Amino acid sequence: MTTSSPTPSVAPVAASRWIQRSFWLLLVAMLLSVWAVIFRVDLNPKVESDFFFSSEDPAFRASLQIAERFPSKPQLIINAQGPDITSDEYVERIAQLTEALLADPDIDSVQSLTRGPANPASVLQSPVWSRLLLSDNPRATQLVALVNGAGGAELITRVEELLADRSRPSFVLEVSGVPYVVELIRRHLLRDLRTFSLAALLVFGLVISILYRSLAPVAGTLLSCVGACLLTLTVLHLIGTPIGLLTANIATIVFVLTLSHTVFLTANWQRLRSELDPPQALAEAIRITFTASFWCMVAALSGFGSLLLANAKPLRELGVSGVIGTAVAITVAYGFYPAFLKSARKAPSHHVAQATPIALTRALGPAIVVLAATIAAFGLAKINTDPSVFAYFARDGEIRAGLERLDRGGGSSPLLLVVKDPAGGRLDSRPTSAALSRLQQQLEKDPAVGVSLSLPLLLDEARRIPLAALLSTEQLVNILDSPRYDHIARSFVDDERRQGLFFLRMRETDRTEPRQAIIDRLMVRVTDAGLATELVGGLYDLQGKLGELVATSLVRELAGLLAFFVLVAAAVSRSPRTTAAMVICLAAVPVLLLGAMGHLGQPVDVISAPGANVAIALGIDAMIHLIMAVRRQRHTGVGLRDAWERACLQMRQPIVGAMLILAAGFGIFLLSSFPPTQRFGMLVAAGTLISAVMALVVLPFLVLVGRK
């Protein structure tokens, strides 16, 4: 093979100087990043109840407007199950637990059998307390703790310790509520960030060691990948992007992006060491590999860049992190790693693939892929992008079982409906008050609604007081808005008495409809009651909109990626037929992945959905490097079929090796206790293996079929 440089002696010298300078510069940057990650960068994932959307998003602004008009606080819901809820022993334990919760500085108030109702016996007849404290389980009642602020990790830990200390076989305590669920998600992400990032590093290192069997490339690869991760985390810290719902996996993604560059660079270096002297071999390997790596970087940047347009805050954060990580990965791969190849005394063993009869493979392989893609396509309609919050926890785990029991008792996910009189009437007038009561009854009949709290229930509770029947609705609301009753009316009606709030706890267990469809049905009930919906908010609504955004993103962003990849493929291949073949192969990857998820009934949540984008980015890497190898072969004067044959044999080992390394590394996430992380790892691991098949089997077939 000939090089393109007319003065081979000059290029290696210049390359050697550049390698040395860039190595020391990046080494200093990496050492500073080590210090920053240890002492400055906060690796605790930031997961809050509003983590789905940014404060500028219209969906989240609606929730903020509701919170301003109807002040409320996050709730912890504690389910207390005993043999007899009317016994003195049970009531005494509830009283002790209530006082213990009130002693916590982060809990403002607690409603229970012994605090709120006039007495425990009156709960059954109370319109408000029967809905708030009783559940479908006749042997259990609930305590509702109002949290000061959003509730943090320290509060949840103290509550868990308190409940564990007071639980008995005859007095079982379980906790739910938005602050608790958010803290559980944060813990899972943190545990995966620590445990599985380290485990993935060990797996990557083991497979790389087996593949290279040479100290310098193995050490250089691992140090480059780890250094790229540290640099990315440091840059994200400097620009104020925290570790969040999706960026908890950014370290592994950057590791993989860097690894992909080093694998193909090493493969070309291995091959050229047998043809050129060491300095010239390294310079030439960098030259021919960087062109392909550059286009791989462009493809990855487009993939992550498309996320910057998403409304969901986690997707935008992943887009920012991915763009930075992609740039860092190629910088480290070509600025830091080559120094280790330069210092290697001998090249790792390089197996030269032998030509084999592949006519049957070329025919049978694509046929199998087409059949699999056809079957998978029917599963696309079954994709669930709006799973319940319980899908974030193991199906057979105690946490999920406890949350589902609480959910069946009275719902778990809050939904806020703000309604008004279409004619602009006051809600404390007789006609409008009757409409509110009708709506309360209609909402409670909906199977998706667990508990509904509203102004009509407060009024019904107030009318149980002697002589209250003599007062008008307006007078009762004024009394409930007084300091004597802690201004309780303000939680359900605004100061002008023109808008009212219905606080719903929605059931998630066994939900088969999308959340938005359920919300639309409830809004129809508002209209049927003679009222109009002013605002919709709450976590249930945000999750529903997020599910729609994930579904839209899967279509829009994947389509946008494929459209952009047409340009990349055209620039790389310079052949319309090869470009079309590359796009077809890339399009088949998400079809196979997402269709299989649909058939298997696996939800595609906001954490696992980016796995399809990552898989495509990795898939195009293999194809770009293969196409560039074909072009190099064509420059030597061989025919098209021979060029593809030689390129496939030349690139088979690095492509298969890279894909196996990536699949093994991401496959470690299948051992996570956090289902979204499992699904993310499964998508990427399967996608890398599919990409290897597409590059080495389907792509050559599509390009060469019908050609003599």
Per-residue pLDDT tens over the stretch 187-231: 877 877 777 667 767 777 777 777 777 778 888 888 999 999 999
Contact 479, 462 (CB under 8 A): yes
Q: Who wins on pLDDT, 184 or 60?
A: 184
Average pLDDT of the segment spanning 70-87? 87
One-letter amino acid of 177: G
Quickly count: other Cβ atoms within 10 Å of residue 422's Cβ: 11
pLDDT value, residue 393: 82
HSE (side-chain half, CA atoms, 13 Å) at 481: 17
**Strand order across the 449-453 sheet:** 449-453, 499-506, 413-420, 532-537
Instruction: Say which DSSP state 428 is in.
Output: T
pLDDT tens, position by position, 478-487:
887 777 777 7
Tokens 């093994």 locate to 664
pLDDT value, residue 145: 92
Q: Alpha-carbon distance 470 to 458, whole Å?
A: 16
pLDDT value, residue 271: 84
**Mean of the per-residue pLDDT values for the chain?**
83
Contact 688, 619 (CB under 8 A): yes
pLDDT value, residue 6: 40
pLDDT tens, position by position, 618-641:
778 888 889 999 998 888 888 888
Helix (H) or strand (E) holding 505: strand 499-506
pLDDT tens, position by position, 646-665:
898 888 888 888 888 778 77
Tokens of 335: 């600025």
pLDDT tens, position by position, 300-328:
887 788 777 766 677 778 889 989 999 99
Q: In the predicted model, is pLDDT for residue 399 greater than 80?
A: no
Q: Which of 204-218, 280-294, 318-332, 421-435 has the lowest mean pLDDT?
A: 204-218
pLDDT tens, position by position, 25-55:
999 999 999 999 888 888 777 766 555 555 5
Binning pLDDT at 50, 70 and 90, where does residue 708 land? low
Q: In the predicted model, is pLDDT for residue 351 greater than 60?
A: no
User: What is the β-pairing status of strands 449-453 and 140-147?
Assistant: unpaired
Rounded to 5 degrees, φ, ψ at 669 are -70, -15
Burial 491-519 (b: 16+ CB within 10 A, else e): bbbbeebbbbbbbbbbbbbebeebbbebb
Q: Which of 129-138, 240-249, 438-447, 592-601 has the lowest mean pLDDT?
A: 240-249
Q: In the predicted model, is pLDDT for residue 402 greater than 80?
A: no
User: Which residues have C-beta within 8 Å of that of residue 540, sequence separation ≥ 6?
Assistant: 413, 414, 415, 504, 506, 515, 519
Collapsed DSSP state (helix, strand, coil) of residue 77? strand
Tokens of 457: 């229930």
The architecture that CATH gives domain 1-40+184-280+312-350 is Up-down Bundle (1.20)
Sign for the CA dihedral angle at 427, 433, 435, 439 comes to positive
User: What is the β-pairing status of strands 75-81 and 140-147?
Assistant: antiparallel
Reported pTM? 0.78
Q: Alpha-carbon distance 444 to 411, whole Å?
A: 12
CA distances from 419 to 188, 191, 442, 540, 656 (A): 38, 42, 14, 17, 60
Q: Alpha-carbon distance 462 to 477, whole Å?
A: 9
pLDDT value, residue 466: 76
Q: Alpha-carbon distance 680 to 135, whole Å?
A: 36
Q: Who wins on pLDDT, 187 or 345?
A: 187
Give the residue from 420, 391, 317, 427 showing the smallest Cα distance to 674.
Answer: 391
Q: In the predicted model, is pLDDT for residue 596 greater than 50?
A: yes
Write the DSSP string, 217-249: HHHHHHHHHHHHHHHHHHHHHHTT----TTGGG
Give the residue from 508, 503, 507, 248 showing the smallest Cα distance to 386.
Answer: 508
Q: In the predicted model, is pLDDT for residue 347 greater than 60?
A: no
The full set of domain ranges for the chain reads 1-40+184-280+312-350, 75-176, 399-542
pLDDT value, residue 148: 84
Q: Which of 111-115, 235-239, 346-350, 388-392 has the lowest mean pLDDT?
A: 346-350
Q: Alpha-carbon distance 371 to 670, whole Å?
A: 27
Give the residue from 615, 650, 644 showing the smallest Cα distance to 627.
Answer: 644
- Burial degree of 601 (CB within 10 A; 0-12, 13-18, 19+): exposed
pLDDT value, residue 7: 38
pLDDT value, residue 527: 94
Q: Alpha-carbon distance 694 to 582, whole Å?
A: 9
Q: Which of 264-278, 528-542, 585-599 has the lowest mean pLDDT?
A: 264-278
pLDDT value, residue 346: 57
Give the residue from 437, 652, 393 showing the smallest Cα distance to 530.
Answer: 437
- Fold topology of 75-176: Alpha-Beta Plaits (3.30.70)
Contact 380, 612 (CB under 8 A): no
Helix (H) or strand (E) holding 371: helix 359-377
Collapsed DSSP state (helix, strand, coil) of residue 195? helix
Average pLDDT of the segment spanning 80-103? 92
User: Which residues have C-beta within 8 Å of that of residue 215, sequence separation ≥ 6?
Assistant: none
Q: Who wins on pLDDT, 622 or 363?
A: 622
Q: Alpha-carbon distance 672 to 683, whole Å?
A: 14
Percent of the chain predicted with pLDDT > 70 = 92
Tokens of 368: 């199998």
- Same fold across 1-40+184-280+312-350 and 75-176: no
pLDDT value, residue 58: 62
